[in-house]
Amino acid sequence: MSISIPRAKKKVEKKPAGSGKKIPFQSPKGMHDRLPADFIYIDKIEKALKKVSGFYGFDRIETPVLEDIKLFERGTGLTSEVVQKQMFTVKTKGDGVLALRPEMTPGVVRAYVEHGLLHVVNPGKFFYMSPVFRYEQPQHGRFRQFYQIGFEVLNSDDPVYDAQIINASLKIFDEVRLKNVTVKLNTIGCKTCRAGYVKKLKEYYKNKLGLVCRDCVKRYAENPLRMLDCKQDKCQPFKAEAPQTLDFICNSCKTHFKSVLEFLDGAQVPYMIDPTLVRGLDYYARTVFEFFAEGVDFALGGGGRYDYLSETMGGPKMPAIGLACGVERMIEAMKLQNIELTTKQNCKAFLIYMGDQAKKQAMMLLDEFYKAGVPVRESFAKESLKSQLRLADKEQVHFALILGQREVFEEVILLRDMKTGAQETIPLKKIVAELKKRI
């Protein structure tokens, strides 16, 4: 008689439900999801922004994601690369065209004037943390949807606000633990004295147009100042030898810039004067600046004075200054500097149930903890005591609250110390007060 020996069954790993099948969609090119792990950085930046803006008296503002395209054509500037190449536009049912905002400043100025705030709040001091959109080729540090934090001071030409915005920005970088952040700054003069400088700049570049990039040839005709903002390698040697704005600005602009530097010196703010710095938007005048961090090869953000923007948009004369920093760029810089952030462990108890009646009782008990302001975690999706205890241990809570059928019947709950393993029985009606006392 032969005896057959059954073969050992091959171990088959269980796959989670739905595995192996993907949704046939991805996030749009240049746009990305903000996942839970990202918010450890995002929350840190937002907390720093609110702390600093609150101290310096900036109020939060938010404008529509869509604006009339003319707002940016007249405000940001027709010759700016943002308007020429990078705007997402939407045609309305009429003849109008709206644009997804590529930046915040023109919308903030519009809102300040439209709602009459210029008659109520002088100067107007605002901050934001908002998404903006630019249709460009996605690459390192550049996205089609990204977030900016920013400050705007409207209706004042006092140089103290140039220095305050720079100083406040550095406070934010310090709050998020970015190391050795410095500011590069320059003055590009006012619309009166700039004409003489632009003339000299055109004379300098006149015989070099065959050597610079194609975009710079176009800038030469439209806005020569923007040739100094070119990032192409072939244009860098010419930028370095170009005439400097400081040699051509009027006495009023010199006095303004000198005052800015004196305020920064008084606040012990580290800075470098960069005579080639002009920024990339058409509306800038006088002070312009950018921020850089140690070990990071891109600007965190920047800004400057835009004393003529309101008039250009058809509004009243209103000098102003602002700044914007890219949130994604700040996060990338934090990672490059190996800045480690940890989530604050503010939950010290985990509620465990066994059985349907206990689950219902646990649901009601959670409401009592909420009303008392006592944070408690749970995992109603888990059924076994072992799996719930394992999760409580993973969460590193100090106490486990165990509620079974018997405890529901006796109107008690087990309180277990997860460090020592000690366990005691507490009346249900006293557990909220008892836990609150212990944590």
| Contact assessment for residue 169 and residue 151, using Cβ atoms and an 8 Å cutoff | yes
Backbone angles phi, psi at 175, to 5 degrees: -65, -35
Coil, helix or strand at residue 45: helix
Distance of CA 175 to the CA centre of its chain: 14
Closest of 156, 118, 120, 102 to residue 322, by C-alpha:
156
Structure tokens, 88: 């997402």
| Contact assessment for residue 162 and residue 323, using Cβ atoms and an 8 Å cutoff | no
Query: Residue 71: which residues within 8 A CB-CB, separation 6 or more?
Result: 99, 106, 107, 110, 313
Please check whether the two domains, 36-193+249-336 and 349-438, share a CATH topology: no
80: left (phi over 0), alpha (psi -120 to 50) or beta: beta
What are the boundaries of each domain within the chain? 36-193+249-336, 349-438
Structure tokens, 325: 């920093």
Structure tokens, 292: 């850089």
Structure tokens, 215: 């975009």
Q: Is 5 exposed, middle or buried (0-12, 13-18, 19+ CB in 10 A)?
A: exposed
Closest of 89, 165, 178, 85 to residue 127, by C-alpha:
165
Identify the helix (H) or strand (E) that includes residue 226: none
Q: What is the pLDDT of residue 246?
A: 86
Encode the chain (439 residues) as per-residue pLDDT tens digits. 333 333 444 444 455 555 567 888 888 888 888 988 889 999 999 999 999 999 999 999 999 999 999 998 888 877 777 787 788 888 888 778 999 999 999 999 999 999 999 899 899 999 999 999 998 777 766 788 999 999 999 999 999 999 999 999 999 999 999 999 999 999 999 988 888 888 888 888 888 888 989 888 888 888 888 888 888 888 888 888 888 888 889 999 999 999 999 999 999 998 999 988 888 677 889 999 999 999 998 999 999 999 999 999 999 999 999 999 999 999 999 999 999 887 655 678 888 888 888 889 988 988 998 888 888 888 888 878 888 888 888 888 888 888 888 888 899 999 888 888 888 999 988 988 888 888 7
| Contact assessment for residue 224 and residue 217, using Cβ atoms and an 8 Å cutoff | no
Coil, helix or strand at residue 403: strand
Q: Is 349 exposed, middle or buried (0-12, 13-18, 19+ CB in 10 A)?
A: buried
User: How many residues would you count in the chain?
Assistant: 439
| Contact assessment for residue 353 and residue 362, using Cβ atoms and an 8 Å cutoff | yes
Query: Residue 365: which residues within 8 A CB-CB, separation 6 or more?
Result: 351, 403, 413, 428, 431, 432
Alpha-carbon span 307 to 297, nearest angstrom: 30
Q: What is the pLDDT of residue 11?
A: 45
What are the distances in angstroms from CA 23 to CA 27, 28, 30, 32?
11, 14, 19, 16
Q: Could you tell me whether strands 349-353 and 399-403 are parallel, antiparallel, or unpaired per DSSP bridges? A: parallel
Alpha-carbon span 54 to 137, nearest angstrom: 36
Under CATH, to which class is 36-193+249-336 assigned?
Answer: alpha beta
Q: Could you tell me whether strands 301-305 and 320-326 are parallel, antiparallel, or unpaired per DSSP bridges? A: antiparallel
Q: Which amino acid is at 190?
A: C
| Contact assessment for residue 323 and residue 169, using Cβ atoms and an 8 Å cutoff | yes
DSSP symbol at 238: H
Cα dihedral 327, 332, 336, 339 sign: positive
Superfamily of domain 349-438: Anticodon-binding domain (3.40.50.800)
| Contact assessment for residue 210 and residue 318, using Cβ atoms and an 8 Å cutoff | no
Cα dihedral 424, 429, 430, 432 sign: positive
Q: What is the pLDDT of residue 377?
A: 86
Closest of 277, 82, 256, 59 to residue 153, by C-alpha:
59
Coil, helix or strand at residue 292: strand
Query: Residue 395: which residues within 8 A CB-CB, separation 6 or more?
Result: 347, 350, 377
